[in-house]
Amino acid sequence: MKKGFLIPVISTALIALSPALSPAAGEWTGNANLLLGVKFLDEIDWDPLDEQVEAGIDIDFRRREWPVNLAVAFVYSMDEDDVDGVDLDGSTAELRLGIRKIWEPEQTIRPFIGGGIVLLRADIDSEYQGTKISDHDETVGIWVNGGIYWTLNRSLNLGFNLGFSTGEVTLFGHDADAGGFQSALLVGYHW
C-alpha cells in the first residue's frame, strides 16, 4: 500500500479521536473498536482471492444531544494463493466516512446501523519465476453496516459487525468490484 494513502487515514483517525481527548469530553460519547473478520469479494472478479482476512479500526462519536454518530473506519483485507506456480496477492483498503445510529435501550446491549461513502483501493500482485507484475486502482463507493455493541463495565465493547461495501475498480484492464460483504468481531472502548 502506498504511503500517500496512509496520511489521510491517520489524519482522519486523529481528528475523530479529538473529541474524546478534549477537556469537554463529558459532552461527547462514542466508540473506538478494533475489527477482525472476513471480507467476501465477488468470486467472478477475485477468485481465488475472494475470501480475504480483514482487520481495521472503527470509530464513531457524537455530542450527547445529537441523534446520530459520525463514523470513520479504516479496514484492510488481504489474501494470497499459488495457482500453477504463480504467486498471487490481493488486497483492498477502505476508508469509510458516514453516520451511525445507535439504539440504547439499555447500557449493555446497543444495536447500530450506519452507512456513507467509502474510498476504496484494490491491489493485485503476481510473481512467476522471478517476474513480478502488479496493478492497483482507487475509487469512491458506498458502505452500509450494522451490528451490536455489548458494553461491559460501561467502557469495554465486545460485539460484531456485518456490512457491505461497493466500488468499481479496473485491474489489468478488467472492471471489478473492490467491495464486498464483511463479517467481523469487534473489541474496543466506549466513552
Tens digits of residue pLDDT in 171-180: 999 999 999 9
Q: How many domains does the chain have?
A: 1
Condensed to tens digits (0 to 9), the pLDDT of residues 53-70 reads: 999 999 999 999 999 999
pLDDT digits (tens, 9 = 90+) for 126-165: 999 989 999 999 999 999 999 999 999 989 999 999 999 9
CATH code where residue 72 lies: 2.40.160.20
**Residue 12 is part of which domain span?**
3-190
Contact 190, 30 (CB under 8 A): yes
The predicted structure's pLDDT at residue 106: 80
Sequence-distant (6+) residues with CB within 8 A of 105 are: none
Q: Predicted confidence band at 110 (pLDDT cuts at 50, 70, 90)?
A: very high
CB 164 within 8 A of CB 120: no
Could you tell me which residues come within 8 angstroms of residue 82 by beta carbon, excluding any fewer than 6 positions away? 88
**Which bin fits 17, alpha (ψ -120 to 50), beta or left (φ > 0)?**
alpha
pLDDT band at 1 (very low <50, low <70, confident <90, very high): very low
Provide the grid cell at 30.
462514542
